[in-house]
Amino acid sequence: MKNKVVIFSAPSGAGKSTIVGHLLGIHPELEFSISATSRAPRGQEKHGVEYYFYTADQFRQMIEEDKFVEYEEVYSGSFYGTLRSEVERIWAKGHAIVFDIDVQGGVNLKRIFGDQALSVFIQAPSVDILRERLIGRGTDTEEAIERRVAKAASEMEFASGKFDYVLINDDLSTAKTEAEKVVSDFLKK
Ligand code: ADP
Ligand code: 5GP
């Protein structure tokens, strides 16, 4: 297996972290790409675990220094990006990289990595279910949830036809099994 990447994109709340977490638990050769962000840590999040946390000024400085493979201002004032050093760190261990990234970022990464990449779009069965899941997760304010839901519809439209695989996350155990299969097939290639 040489320098492969698996990209997961989805509107927030569709179940990306849940499915990615499951895959990381069963495939030791997969390693999560820790993104840099300028948003504040949520709950117990720690620098170097869920994200590398920086201020917006530090983030802009790193953009100037060309430190990113890609970056996006995913929400107004909140930057997220993949550091070149992170890609090198994971490939140096002989691992395949797993990205959990917004829809635009996923399309950009697929363009950059081409056949080295499998890009998977995770979709909730409906926008109402997406909202319910975000409420149930209990990590975002009402306002942030509405922002994320509003963004989801345009993300789904934008994503159409741009990913290698679309995974509908309705029943979770079915979705996990489907994700296992598509990723295993790709890693074997
Ligand atoms: P994302 O990473 O895409 O923002 P999460 O993985 O955090 O989404 O999932 C959002 C919420 O929905 C979480 O509370 C998670 O436990 C729940 N969830 C994920 N998949 C399902 C599913 N198939 N059915 C019901 N709830 C789910
Ligand atoms: P959250 O704030 O919920 O952790 O993430 C918000 C969004 O930013 C999610 O859609 C997540 O996938 C996306 N994201 C995380 N890391 C990156 C990254 O490195 N680049 C881009 N473009 N988006 C990212």
Alpha-carbon span 154 to 143, nearest angstrom: 18
Alpha-carbon span 180 to 90, nearest angstrom: 21
How many angstroms does the Cα of residue 28 sit away from the middle of ligand 1?
A: 23
Higher-confidence position of 1 and 107: 107
Mean pLDDT to the nearest integer, 127-136 = 94
Mean pLDDT to the nearest integer, 42-61 = 96
For residue 64, what are the CA distances in angstroms to 57, 60, 67, 128, 170? 11, 6, 8, 40, 41
Give the pLDDT confidence score for residue 74 in this predicted structure.
84
Among the atoms of ligand 1, which is closest to the Cα of residue 11?
3
Give the pLDDT confidence score for residue 1 in this predicted structure.
52
Does any ligand 1 atom lie closer than 6 A to the CB of residue 169? yes
Q: What is the pTM of this model?
A: 0.91
How many angstroms does the Cα of residue 134 sit away from the middle of ligand 1?
A: 8
9, 12, 16, 18: which to mutate for ligand 1, most atoms within 8 A of CB?
18
Alpha-carbon span 102 to 22, nearest angstrom: 19
